[in-house]
A and B are shown apart, each in its own frame.
Chain A
Protein backbone atom coordinates (compact mmCIF):
# COMPACT_ATOMS: atom_id res chain seq x y z
CA UNK A 1 0.00 0.00 0.00
CA UNK A 2 0.92 3.64 -0.15
CA UNK A 3 1.22 4.22 3.58
CA UNK A 4 2.09 2.44 6.80
CA UNK A 5 -0.53 -0.16 7.57
CA UNK A 6 -1.29 -1.42 11.06
CA UNK A 7 -3.52 -4.31 12.07
CA UNK A 8 -5.71 -4.75 13.92
CA UNK A 9 -7.02 -1.22 14.23
CA UNK A 10 -8.71 -2.20 17.46
CA UNK A 11 -8.00 -5.03 19.86
CA UNK A 12 -9.85 -5.79 23.07
CA UNK A 13 -8.35 -8.46 25.27
CA UNK A 14 -8.48 -9.68 28.82
CA UNK A 15 -5.83 -9.17 31.43
CA UNK A 16 -3.19 -11.87 31.21
CA UNK A 17 -3.68 -12.66 27.53
CA UNK A 18 -1.09 -12.53 24.76
CA UNK A 19 -1.40 -9.94 21.98
CA UNK A 20 0.31 -9.39 18.64
CA UNK A 21 0.16 -6.12 16.72
CA UNK A 22 1.34 -5.98 13.14
CA UNK A 23 2.96 -3.18 11.15
CA UNK A 24 3.46 -3.16 7.39
CA UNK A 25 5.79 -0.24 6.55
CA UNK A 26 6.09 1.69 3.33
CA UNK A 27 7.81 -0.49 0.76
CA UNK A 28 11.56 0.02 0.73
CA UNK A 29 11.74 1.78 4.08
CA UNK A 30 14.58 0.32 6.10
CA UNK A 31 13.87 2.10 9.38
CA UNK A 32 10.86 1.10 11.47
CA UNK A 33 9.73 2.44 14.83
CA UNK A 34 7.13 1.51 17.42
CA UNK A 35 5.64 4.13 19.72
CA UNK A 36 2.96 3.92 22.39
CA UNK A 37 0.45 6.71 22.95
CA UNK A 38 -1.56 6.69 26.15
CA UNK A 39 -4.70 8.77 26.51
CA UNK A 40 -3.90 12.47 26.67
CA UNK A 41 -0.20 11.95 26.13
CA UNK A 42 2.24 12.24 23.29
CA UNK A 43 3.72 9.15 21.68
CA UNK A 44 6.50 7.41 23.62
CA UNK A 45 9.31 5.62 21.83
CA UNK A 46 9.44 1.87 22.26
CA UNK A 47 11.83 0.33 19.74
CA UNK A 48 13.69 1.06 16.51
CA UNK A 49 14.65 -1.37 13.76
CA UNK A 50 17.17 -0.76 11.03
CA UNK A 51 16.62 -3.63 8.64
CA UNK A 52 16.05 -6.83 10.58
CA UNK A 53 17.83 -5.84 13.76
CA UNK A 54 16.54 -3.93 16.75
CA UNK A 55 19.04 -1.08 16.89
CA UNK A 56 17.47 0.54 19.95
CA UNK A 57 14.97 -1.15 22.26
CA UNK A 58 15.52 1.19 25.19
CA UNK A 59 11.88 2.23 25.27
CA UNK A 60 10.37 -1.20 25.86
CA UNK A 61 8.87 -0.94 29.35
CA UNK A 62 9.64 -4.49 30.52
CA UNK A 63 10.30 -8.00 29.31
CA UNK A 64 6.64 -8.62 28.54
CA UNK A 65 7.12 -6.53 25.41
CA UNK A 66 9.00 -7.88 22.41
CA UNK A 67 9.16 -6.94 18.74
CA UNK A 68 10.51 -8.67 15.66
CA UNK A 69 11.15 -7.81 12.03
CA UNK A 70 12.47 -11.07 10.59
CA UNK A 71 12.68 -10.10 6.92
CA UNK A 72 13.31 -6.40 7.29
CA UNK A 73 9.81 -5.41 6.28
CA UNK A 74 6.75 -6.35 8.36
CA UNK A 75 7.15 -6.01 12.11
CA UNK A 76 5.17 -7.55 14.95
CA UNK A 77 4.94 -6.13 18.45
CA UNK A 78 4.21 -8.87 20.97
CA UNK A 79 2.87 -8.30 24.45
CA UNK A 80 2.72 -11.16 26.92
CA UNK A 81 0.55 -11.36 30.04
CA UNK A 82 -1.19 -8.10 29.21
CA UNK A 83 -2.05 -5.70 32.02
CA UNK A 84 -4.65 -2.95 32.16
CA UNK A 85 -1.85 -0.38 32.05
CA UNK A 86 -0.89 -1.64 28.59
CA UNK A 87 -4.07 -0.08 27.19
CA UNK A 88 -2.97 2.53 24.66
CA UNK A 89 -2.66 3.22 20.95
CA UNK A 90 0.42 1.55 19.51
CA UNK A 91 1.86 3.49 16.61
CA UNK A 92 4.20 2.25 13.95
CA UNK A 93 6.29 4.51 11.74
CA UNK A 94 8.76 3.95 8.94
CA UNK A 95 11.44 5.99 7.23
CA UNK A 96 13.67 5.60 4.20
CA UNK A 97 16.84 6.37 6.14
CA UNK A 98 18.35 6.15 9.55
CA UNK A 99 18.64 9.09 11.89
CA UNK A 100 16.66 12.15 10.86
CA UNK A 101 17.54 12.06 7.17
CA UNK A 102 14.22 10.71 6.05
CA UNK A 103 10.72 11.79 6.99
CA UNK A 104 8.93 9.56 9.45
CA UNK A 105 5.59 8.25 8.20
CA UNK A 106 3.14 7.04 10.83
CA UNK A 107 0.35 4.51 10.61
CA UNK A 108 -3.05 5.13 12.15
CA UNK A 109 -2.25 2.92 15.09
CA UNK A 110 -3.62 -0.13 16.82
CA UNK A 111 -5.82 0.68 19.80
CA UNK A 112 -5.33 -1.93 22.52
CA UNK A 113 -7.81 -2.20 25.37
CA UNK A 114 -7.05 -4.58 28.21
CA UNK A 115 -10.07 -5.38 30.37
Chain B
Protein backbone atom coordinates (compact mmCIF):
# COMPACT_ATOMS: atom_id res chain seq x y z
CA UNK B 1 0.00 0.00 0.00
CA UNK B 2 1.46 3.31 -1.11
CA UNK B 3 1.17 6.24 1.28
CA UNK B 4 2.73 9.68 1.41
CA UNK B 5 2.63 12.19 4.24
CA UNK B 6 3.79 15.78 4.28
CA UNK B 7 5.21 17.43 7.36
CA UNK B 8 6.59 20.82 8.17
CA UNK B 9 5.78 24.10 9.88
CA UNK B 10 2.25 25.43 9.69
CA UNK B 11 3.45 29.02 9.97
CA UNK B 12 6.51 30.74 8.60
CA UNK B 13 7.48 34.39 8.56
CA UNK B 14 8.14 36.38 5.40
CA UNK B 15 11.72 36.02 4.13
CA UNK B 16 12.21 32.75 6.02
CA UNK B 17 13.05 29.44 4.38
CA UNK B 18 10.41 26.71 4.34
CA UNK B 19 11.47 23.10 4.72
CA UNK B 20 8.91 20.39 4.01
CA UNK B 21 9.40 16.65 4.31
CA UNK B 22 7.51 13.99 2.42
CA UNK B 23 7.69 10.59 4.12
CA UNK B 24 6.45 7.74 2.00
CA UNK B 25 5.96 4.00 2.12
CA UNK B 26 4.99 1.23 -0.23
CA UNK B 27 7.62 2.00 -2.84
CA UNK B 28 11.28 2.88 -3.12
CA UNK B 29 12.75 5.92 -4.80
CA UNK B 30 15.66 3.79 -5.86
CA UNK B 31 13.35 1.80 -8.15
CA UNK B 32 13.65 2.74 -11.81
CA UNK B 33 10.98 5.17 -13.05
CA UNK B 34 9.82 6.20 -9.59
CA UNK B 35 9.64 9.93 -8.89
CA UNK B 36 8.21 12.24 -6.24
CA UNK B 37 6.85 15.70 -6.92
CA UNK B 38 5.74 18.63 -4.81
CA UNK B 39 2.57 20.47 -5.77
CA UNK B 40 0.84 23.34 -3.99
CA UNK B 41 -2.56 24.99 -3.94
CA UNK B 42 -3.10 28.49 -2.60
CA UNK B 43 -6.53 28.95 -1.02
CA UNK B 44 -9.16 29.14 -3.73
CA UNK B 45 -6.61 28.87 -6.53
CA UNK B 46 -5.24 26.33 -8.97
CA UNK B 47 -2.81 23.54 -8.25
CA UNK B 48 0.76 24.47 -9.13
CA UNK B 49 3.49 21.94 -9.82
CA UNK B 50 6.71 22.85 -8.02
CA UNK B 51 9.42 20.23 -8.39
CA UNK B 52 10.21 16.58 -9.08
CA UNK B 53 13.03 14.27 -8.06
CA UNK B 54 13.66 11.03 -9.88
CA UNK B 55 14.97 7.60 -8.95
CA UNK B 56 18.32 8.51 -10.53
CA UNK B 57 18.50 11.80 -8.57
CA UNK B 58 17.58 13.96 -11.55
CA UNK B 59 15.79 17.08 -10.34
CA UNK B 60 13.29 19.28 -12.18
CA UNK B 61 11.82 22.61 -11.12
CA UNK B 62 9.00 24.99 -11.93
CA UNK B 63 10.64 27.55 -14.19
CA UNK B 64 9.18 30.53 -12.32
CA UNK B 65 10.26 29.29 -8.88
CA UNK B 66 13.49 27.56 -9.79
CA UNK B 67 15.78 29.99 -8.00
CA UNK B 68 13.95 29.47 -4.69
CA UNK B 69 13.46 25.70 -4.69
CA UNK B 70 15.66 22.77 -3.78
CA UNK B 71 14.46 19.18 -3.78
CA UNK B 72 16.42 16.28 -2.35
CA UNK B 73 15.89 12.69 -1.28
CA UNK B 74 17.04 10.31 1.39
CA UNK B 75 16.36 6.91 -0.08
CA UNK B 76 17.26 5.07 3.11
CA UNK B 77 14.63 7.02 5.06
CA UNK B 78 12.04 7.05 2.25
CA UNK B 79 11.90 10.82 2.42
CA UNK B 80 11.90 13.71 -0.01
CA UNK B 81 12.64 17.22 1.22
CA UNK B 82 11.65 20.49 -0.42
CA UNK B 83 13.10 23.81 0.63
CA UNK B 84 11.71 27.13 -0.56
CA UNK B 85 13.62 30.28 0.27
CA UNK B 86 12.45 33.85 0.80
CA UNK B 87 8.87 32.95 1.68
CA UNK B 88 6.16 35.53 0.98
CA UNK B 89 2.47 35.71 1.94
CA UNK B 90 1.58 34.71 -1.64
CA UNK B 91 3.25 31.37 -0.91
CA UNK B 92 0.51 30.56 1.58
CA UNK B 93 -0.86 27.28 0.31
CA UNK B 94 -1.54 23.63 0.95
CA UNK B 95 1.58 21.75 -0.10
CA UNK B 96 1.24 18.21 -1.41
CA UNK B 97 3.76 15.57 -2.28
CA UNK B 98 2.81 12.99 -4.87
CA UNK B 99 4.35 9.94 -6.48
CA UNK B 100 4.90 10.08 -10.22
CA UNK B 101 5.74 6.99 -12.24
CA UNK B 102 7.24 7.37 -15.66
CA UNK B 103 5.29 4.32 -16.81
CA UNK B 104 1.86 5.80 -16.09
CA UNK B 105 2.85 9.48 -16.56
CA UNK B 106 0.56 10.64 -13.82
CA UNK B 107 0.66 11.59 -10.15
CA UNK B 108 -0.79 8.32 -8.96
CA UNK B 109 -0.61 8.72 -5.18
CA UNK B 110 -0.83 11.91 -3.15
CA UNK B 111 -0.48 12.90 0.46
CA UNK B 112 -3.29 14.75 2.15
CA UNK B 113 -1.32 17.98 2.10
CA UNK B 114 -0.06 20.38 4.71
CA UNK B 115 -1.22 23.98 4.99
CA UNK B 116 1.58 26.51 5.25
CA UNK B 117 0.70 30.08 6.14
CA UNK B 118 3.20 32.86 5.57
CA UNK B 119 2.59 35.73 7.95
CA UNK B 120 4.50 37.95 10.29
**A and B from one assembly?**
no
* Interface of B toward A, CB cutoff 8 Å: none
Q: Which A residues are closer than 8 A to B by beta carbons?
A: none
